[in-house]
Structure 1
Amino acid sequence: MEYPVSGWSQWPAPAKLNLFLRITGRRADGYHELQTVFRLLDWGDSVRLRVRGDGRIVRHGDSVPGVAEVDDLMVRAAKLLQSHANCALGADIAVEKRIPAGGGFGGGSSDAATVLCALDRLWGLDLGEDALAGLGLRLGADVPVFVRGRSAWAEGVGERLRPLQLPPAWYVLADPGVQVPTAALFAAPDLTRNSPPATIADFAAGTVLDNAFEPVLRRREPAVQAAFDALARIGRPRLTGTGSGCFVEFPDRGSAEAALARLPRGLRAWLAAGVDQSPLGAALARPAAVEP
């Protein structure tokens, strides 16, 4: 018996940058209070989905090496949505990975958000952005910004979002290839946890560019320090999120391309443009292109 009831459709899962990241305190529940600006990018993963009639959620391929299917955020997102909506349909899920794991570019969170939003559409649920963002928060603090699909000022654990329109920018991104568990970084004794709160005006003036995890990772991981040393030749390098990924911002593509060409060949680096609106939103607004 053939269970799939539609062909495959493809959906973007954009990466993000944290243009700064501060820890301003610790909550009674043990979570840290954060401030950051999420900048969405025009580059990322591609998630492929196919509706099933038997209710099963099936992952195809090894999307993240070493991550079991039951632990995959995409699978968890689909099952959470299915349970929340009491939906009898299922889905086949596959992903074309471009975003490196552990880089702080938001790959797993973005993939999960894309599954939530696209299956909401394909299953005909129409739950709405607020409900989907609430489900996303249950999967991870970075998921809601991808569900809402707008670059944003964020506070709390990252879930309190205020959309921002940011100046056009291009970025040279670099991946040192280091993965450090987020929990270990939050537990680091040399992590600054009590920075003074910043304001959007501070950020707009360019006086807030720090990332609390940058000095910790640079001291502990030689590959991260080497990436910063290389990127310092072309501009001011910054860390994104709690990963090892680094970036330098440029006002236009030409200057970013020229800078990229000056980096050593041994460093994995590439270009991406910043966007204020997620490419996922544009894809959801169009008729789904279904493959046989």
Structure 2
Amino acid sequence: MSDAIPHLDPAADTLVLPAPAKLNRLLHITGRRPDGYHELQTLFQFLDIGDTLTLRRREDGELRLTPAIDGVDDEDNLVMRAARLLQAEAGGRRGAEIHLDKRLPMGGGLGGGSSDAATALLGLDALWGLGLDLETLARLGLALGADVPVFVHGHAAWAEGIGERLTPVSLDTPWFVVIHPGVTVSTPAVFGAPELTRDTPPITMARALQGGAGSWRNDCEPTVRRQYPEVARALDWLARRAPAMLTGTGACVFARLETEPQADRLLAEVPKGWQAFKAHGLNRSPLHAALGR
């Protein structure tokens, strides 16, 4: 299920690019700001699986996205918002046809929408020959969501603030089995829950990395367990077989395996009714490998 790395032709009028999933290997909530956003410490890591965007240059300045996503207007779609931001940054003369092959579950905690937006920014930058640096593209991406910059920069990272202050790290790269238990988790409901942990003492990046995966946790997990029993059931099922954790606010949960055969065996055991896949952890985004950035 991994995305192949395409060969990038600088003169091409069409690019086919991956938009990889991410996992939060650790997620601490250290405070709440006056504007309602939460202060976080997290470890982002990419997976070798995700959505795919096909970008085709248009000469008439029009931006078009296919196919339509149920319940999401074009103006609200992060891919179109990213394309319009970049078009405005470039002076509004360039256009594109964008086709999104959506594989990642929406609202699963895998960063699919943010990753799609980042791929649109970097892909259209290449397609239009703009040559913008990653800092500029990350600034545009932050206006779309706190998770977009990590996908723009393209390296596994320790993140602080609302998730936008990034320090590149090199994490272990095991195999994962990811399960979506078939429910939709409301991120605002999780972050608005009175019982959510909001006072985890901040730690240093060095301490987090020294502690290793065995000490990592997600502060959202107890709240999500209470609000969504099916997520709790998936976590309990996974935890009996391998170290398991929630990613983001869910609904996806993941287990860490040392080898691909172990992942294959666990994947074969997943109960029917849950979506599941295996993936390999990556420190460099396949999007950046594809674009040579």
Query: TM-score, normalised on structure 2?
Result: 0.92
Aligned to 1:289: none
> Is 1:281 equivalent to 2:275 in the alignment?
no
Q: Structure 1 pair 87/124, CA: closer, same or farther in 2 (3 Å)?
A: farther
Q: Structure 1 pair 269/54, CA: closer, same or farther in 2 (3 Å)?
A: same
Aligned to 2:183: 178
Matched-pair contact (CA < 8 Å) for 2:12–2:127: no
Matched-pair contact (CA < 8 Å) for 1:81–1:135: yes
Aligned to 1:46: 52
Aligned to 2:208: 203
AA at the equivalent of 2:131: D
Matched-pair contact (CA < 8 Å) for 2:160–2:166: yes
Q: How many residues align?
A: 281
Aligned to 1:290: none
Aligned residues: CA RMSD:
1.6
Tell me by how many angstroms 1:26 deviates: 1.7
Aligned to 1:249: 256
Aligned to 2:3: none
Matched-pair contact (CA < 8 Å) for 1:74–1:111: yes
Tell me by how many angstroms 1:182 deviates: 1.6
Matched-pair contact (CA < 8 Å) for 1:171–1:273: yes
> Is 1:132 equivalent to 2:132 in the alignment?
no
Partners of 1:229 and 1:208 in 2: CA distance? 18
Report SS of the residue matched to 1:261: helix
Partners of 1:221 and 1:14 in 2: CA distance? 26
Aligned to 1:19: 25
Q: Structure 1 pair 6/260, CA: closer, same or farther in 2 (3 Å)?
A: closer
Over 3 Å off, 4+ runs: 5-8
Tell me by how many angstroms 1:264 deviates: 2.1
Report SS of the residue matched to 1:139: coil
AA at the equivalent of 1:272: A
Report SS of the residue matched to 2:190: helix
Gaps of 5+ in 2: 1-10
Tell me by how many angstroms 1:236 deviates: 2.2
Tell me by how many angstroms 1:146 deviates: 0.3
Identity, % of aligned pairs? 52
Partners of 2:175 and 2:201 in 1: CA distance? 29
Compare 240-249 and 230-239 and name the one that shifted more.
230-239
Matched-pair contact (CA < 8 Å) for 1:172–1:247: yes
Compare 184-193 and 174-183 and name the one that shifted more.
174-183
Aligned partner of 2:147 among 131, 138, 142: 142
- Post-superposition Cα deviations, 1:148-193, rounded to whole Å, max 9, x if no partner, equal 0000000001011011111221101000122222222111111111
Aligned partner of 2:277 among 254, 259, 270: 270
Matched-pair contact (CA < 8 Å) for 1:78–1:115: yes
